[in-house]
Structure formats: structure tokens, C-alpha cells
Amino acid sequence: MKTLHLLIAILAAVVFTACSSNDEDAPATTSDITVILQLPEVANPIVKSATASIVDVNTMQQTAVDAPIVGGNRTVLQLKKNNLYSITVHATIEYEANGKTIEAEIMGQKENIQVTDNTLTIEMPMFFAEEQHEDENDNPHNGLLLAEIFCAGTSTPMGTYYYADKYFVIYNNTDKTIYADSLLLLESDFLTTMKEEYIPDIMSDYMAVSAIYMIPGSGHDHPIAPGGRMLLVDNALDHTRANPNSWDETLADFEWYDESTNPQFSDVDNPNVPNLERIYSKTQTMWSPHTQGFKSYAIATMKTDKMSFLIDYMYNYEAHIVGATGEGYITGMCFKMPNEWIVDAVNMSAQQDYQWIVTSPKLDRGFTFSSLFAFDDSRFNKSVRRKVISRVNDRAVLMDTNNSTEDFEPRVTADPYHVF
């Protein structure tokens, strides 16, 4: 189908108060920014209204701007010249489906837009804010969330660091039992602290991943009750024997285990705790979630067999790298996970080093953190944990707005057995 493009020019008027009569204190010029909204592929979409949220990346000041539709499909605004921005657009559209007119909310996001010229045009893919006409039979894991992520490791009483006790907590945020069989645990290939131009750009439709592990089962082997949880750990050991500041993780539901190709680095397998099935991991030794929290994580539903996935979903890319001594291209390979398979995604970064999210904003439009900056020693023993927004009897309902900045408490004291 043809993709309808809506031209939107974004304007944020910036007013400065002169501190002196010097001519250099004159107001800065502005630039016309044309944003081309690439609408979802639906029948006869019509944009009814639009708003823009503009963030000055240098100051992190946010401005909400009405973007009224003028002349049918345009609005003209401006941004301050010689500045760096992130722009989020929310819009209401109507479209036709099954003989009916449907009204829905869509959104899109572009980060780190450098405004230097008098005019600039950018393209912004737009996504439905919520799934439309979703068939629950196609998404058996809908309602499962990444409730807590611990990727930093712990500190020891001697001041050294221990990395074998990392974990993920998956939570059933619904009022019905969900079976976790064939649920995937994913780590992003790209870093949230290093924004590059990747070719081809697949982010609108896929998440680039470098680690994929799956909960085994035939479909009804691993139930998670309403408000229930599942603990996935690196090593299902009593870590207090090696580090009194850690936990006994022998009660975990699953551990991920890797058969290392390097005899100097071997994994430990607890035969009493079942292993996740390794679909793919870029490392040739043992996968360990990024200790500084520079990567993002997701859970997804596997909708094909392992061999078909490894054949059909390989992603070869080039990255445009700009460094202190010049620029050039590097090549890379990982796998691409369809966004429609992804149940929940959480972007992580270091608070002061964040550059971009590495998922479609449809999946997550913010980030959370356990590190304040690169090589931050205060990150140890800290996790990120989803907020509780309400309770239904004894069941906690966790926040899930697809914005990890709002949904998570950053840098909480880690606890794999935390009760929500």
C-alpha cells in the first residue's frame, strides 16, 4: 500500500532577555523543520489532530506544542537554529477497517536532530500507540512484563565485584494465567550510548538482537498465575558462598547456560534448575547482560522454529562511524526480532551517557538506568524495577505505558525475590 505522508513543520519560539546592549545578544535565528509523518499502512487514513513534544537535548527542557492541521495536512512551526533536539509527535487518525471508521492514536519519535540550516526535512515513522484489533491467540504472552532487570552485578565485602548473580524477573500483569512456554529473552545488539547510522535501518519493523534465549515447553508446561512471577538467572547457585552481599538463586525458575568454546571460560550448570534454550548468542563463551546497562532488553513470542528463525531473520548491516580521527563504515551481523512478536521492551542506558533508544518508540519511548555514567562503581547491587500503580485485591498492577522513564524506578536495591 502507499504510505501517506503528512508534512508537519515544527516551531518552538525561543525568547531571550538581553543582558546588555551588545549586538551579540540579539535573539538567535530559527529554522523551518519539516517532519514527514509516515503513517501506518491502513485504508484511507486522515489525520484529525497532532501535537509535538520537543526536548532540547543540551538542557533537557521539554516543550509541548500544538500542531494544528492547516490546509488539510500541514502545520508550520520553527525550532531554534544551531541546537540539538528530540521530537515526539502524537496524532489522532481515522481510517477504515472492516467497513467501519476507526479512530486511533499514533505516535513517532526522532532523537538527536541537529538543527544547523535554515530548513531541514526529516522523516518520522508513525506507529499505533496501542495494538489494533489484536488476536489474543496470536499473542499468548500478552500481559507479561519485564518487572526487574539486574545486570550490574554485586560488590563484595572486600570491595571487589561479582558478576555471576545477574537476573531478570518476568511478571504476569493480568488477571488470567499465562503460559511462558516459547517466551524469548532478548538483548539488543546496539548500544544506547552510541548512536550511529545503521544501513539498512530496520528499527521501524524489527529489533536488532545479539542474545536470544527461550523458555522451553510444549505450550502449557510453565504457567504464571495472575500477579505471579518467573525468575531467570545467570547461574542458579547459592551466591552467598562466594559473596555474602549476594543471594541464594537456587530457587530460580530457569538459568541460561552456555557451552563455551574457550576452555578458560566455562559456565556452571545447576542440574536441579532447568536451562533456557539458547537460540543465539554473539559471544563464543558465556553471555552476561551488559554490566553498565548500555543495552536494552525485551521479551517476545517465538512464532517459528529455531532453524527457520536463524535462516530467515539474519541481519547484516553497515554502520557509519564518526571518530576523532575521521569517519568510515563497519559491518556487523546479528538477528532481527519482528516488533509484532515483542511483548515488552525496556531500554537501558547510563543516565549521563544516553544517546538514543534502540527499539522502535512503539515498543518503548524512554529509558531507565542503574549506572549514572560510564564505569560508575555505584551501579553495583542496583537494579531497575517497575512501579506499582494499583492493587486488585492482593495482586499488584505494574505501570506499563511503553515509556521506561516513567514505568521504572531506577537504581533500586536489587532483590530477585522482591514482592510487588
Which parts of the chain have pLDDT scores under 70? 1-28, 69-77, 129-138, 323-324
Q: Which pLDDT score, from 0 to 100, does residue 323 have? A: 64
Q: What pLDDT is recorded for position 44? A: 87
Same domain, 34 and 51: yes
Whether residue 13 is contained in a domain is answered as yes
Whether 7 and 74 have beta carbons less than 8 Å apart is answered as yes
pTM: 0.75
Residues 400 and 317 in one domain: yes
Amino acid 77: pLDDT: 65
Tell me the residue range of the domain where 10 lies: 5-128
Whether residue 345 is found in the same domain as residue 381: yes
Q: Do both 141 and 50 map to the same domain?
A: no
Best CA proximity match to 76, nearest among 174, 178, 8: 8
Do 297 and 371 belong together in one domain?
A: yes
The answer to the question of residue 116 being in a domain is yes
Does 145 lie in the same domain as 10?
Answer: no
**Where among 83, 107, 128 does a domain terminate?**
128
Closest CA to 301 of 180, 404, 153, 403: 180
Residues 236 and 322 both lie in one domain: yes
Q: Is residue 98 part of a domain?
A: yes
Residue written as cell 532453524?
Answer: 307
Assigned domain for 24 exists: yes
370 within a domain of the structure (yes/no): yes
Number of domains in the chain: 2
Residue 88 has a pLDDT of 84
Q: Do 84 and 195 have their domain in common?
A: no
Residue 420 lies in a domain: no
Q: What is the pLDDT of residue 338?
A: 96
pLDDT digits (tens, 9 = 90+) for 307-357: 999 999 999 999 887 766 777 888 999 999 999 999 999 999 999 999 999
- 419 within domain boundaries: no
CATH of the domain at 23: 2.60.40
Q: DSSP secondary structure string, 134-178?
A: --GGG-TTTTEEEEEEE-S-EE-TTS-EE-TT-EEEEEE-SSS-E
355 with 380, same domain? yes
Residues 89 and 190 in one domain: no
Residues 258 and 336 in one domain: yes
Residue 16 has a pLDDT of: 34
- The verdict on residue 120 lying in a domain is yes
Q: Which domain-ending residue is among 94, 128, 162?
A: 128
